[in-house]
Structure 1
Amino acid sequence: MTRLACLTLLLASAALAPAFAADWKMDPAASRLDFAATFEGTPAPGVFKNFEVRLDFDPERPADGRLEVRIGVASADMANADINKAIAGPEWFDFARHPQAEFRTTEIRRVQGNSYLARGTLSLKGVHQAVEVPFSWSGAADGASMQGEFIVKRLPFGIGTGEWAATNVIGLDVTIKFRIRLRKAS
């Protein structure tokens, strides 16, 4: 009788224990990471072609979640060969010394419905800054998607220094937009 009671208690405890967040991996072909600066008030869009997203996330338990984004900074493309050459240099992204940027969460929380907020640290060009990334989540049995938009101030990261530091030519704010398609990791 004691063994049966212990077994029943063990099974009941397992059923009530918090589940681990689902493990998600990005589908690169169906995902985008765009950025837009402004040049004399006109949008100057670009895209990062090489990035990776890893997400441990259960929309019902967002506080247990973890998000990590790695960006191959040298994959930045602003659709203009001269601009692409310039942004590779030390006044901009400095591809040679800082080939990768990274975002890691410290917290994910639900804001309302399918809207969430990821707080974490963005590491770019050797600088680490706290940022907040709002996103929406849409899940299904075969996969999920997350999308959002946020603003980063470029100068604290040393992006656009020297003659480019004046914000009347290149705006201070850079808008980051993302649309990520995810599948459950095996």
Structure 2
Amino acid sequence: MKALSVRVRFYRRRAAVGAAALWTAGAAALLAGGAAHAQLDAAKSTIVAISRQMNVPVQGSFTKFGAQIDFDPAKPAAGSARITVDTTSYDLGDATYNDSVRGPEWFDAKAFPQAAFASTSIVPTAPNQYRVNGNLTIKGHTESVAVPVVLTQQGATQTFDGTLPIHRLVFNIGTGEWKDTSIVADEVLIKFHIVVAHK
């Protein structure tokens, strides 16, 4: 039973890795809304990925990401965003598991050190709510995604919140035994809280 318990805990950690991988690119990407010539407030911004390992939620966070954002709520169609995420920065709270995330089964960080999102259009869907369409690239694979974003404006500061479901296997995240979705679910939720400020 002890050996099984250790293996389950290990699976959960590795599951989070996959989640993050997607989430990473996804989340950051999703946020694709920003502020006109705005600067990312990294200290207040977060991107997390939530996966399910043997039906148990596993969460990890990305600690390094950048953003080039240009967004005016009065002219959403003219907005644009490019988000990049350091795939080696996913944090599961354990150095050993963090190292495993960089391996070829997951991020393959040596070959693909960054995940990226580039917006193609921003469409209003409700007051202070938008759909950010764009291309998400993870581990060398690009897919079109539509990210739901909620905007909160406080003076010169804009905050973008949202959750984007992503399928890890589409991006080849979790290969070999990790392709088994009975162990690690295919769907990963990317939750983001991005804060930017006008210069």
The bucket for the TM-score relative to the shorter chain is 0.7 to 0.9
Correspondence for 2:113: 99
**Residue aligning to 1:141:** 155
* Higher RCO structure, 1 or 2 (CA under 8 Å, sep 6+): 2
- Number of the residue aligned with 1:65: 79
Q: Does 1:114 align with 2:128?
A: yes
Q: Which residue of 1 aligns with 2:169?
A: 155
Any idea what the Cα deviations from partners look like across 1:46-87, whole Å, max 9, x if unmatched? 000000122111112111100111100100111233322221
Deviation at 1:173, TM superposition (A): 0.6
Distance 1:113 1:80 in 2: 41
Question: For the residues of structure 1 that align with 2:53 and 2:95, how far apart are their CA atoms?
Answer: 16
Counterpart pick for 1:23 among 22, 37, 57: 37
SS in 2 for 1:22: coil
| TM-align CA RMSD | 1.2
Deviates more, 1:165-174 or 1:77-86: 77-86
In structure 1, the gaps of 5 or more residues are: 1-20
Q: Which amino acid aligns with 2:182?
A: N
Q: Distance in 2 between matches of 1:35 and 1:53?
A: 18
Larger radius of gyration: 1
> Whole-Å Cα distance in 2 between the matches of residues 24 and 111 of structure 1?
23
Which residue in 2 is equivalent to 1:125?
A: 139
The whole-number CA distance in structure 1 between the counterparts of 2:92 and 2:106 is 13
Give the structure with the higher percent helix. Answer: 2
Structure having the higher strand fraction is: 1
Identical aligned pairs, as a percentage?
35
The answer for unaligned runs of 5 or more in structure 2 is 1-34
In structure 1, distance between residues paired with 2:156 and 2:193? 17
Q: TM-score, normalised by structure 2?
A: 0.80
Q: Does 1:44 align with 2:49?
A: no
Equivalent residue letter for 1:65: G
Aligned partners of 2:166, 2:151: CA distance in 1, in Å? 22
* Structure 1 letter corresponding to 2:77: A
Which whole-Å CA distance do the structure 2 matches of 1:165 and 1:125 have between them?
15
The 1-side partners of 2:101 and 2:43 are apart by 25
Structure 1 runs of 4+ aligned residues shifted over 3 Å read none
Residue of structure 2 in register with 1:177 after alignment: 191
Give the one of 83, 93, 106 matched to 1:79: 93
Q: By how many angstroms is 1:129 displaced?
A: 0.6
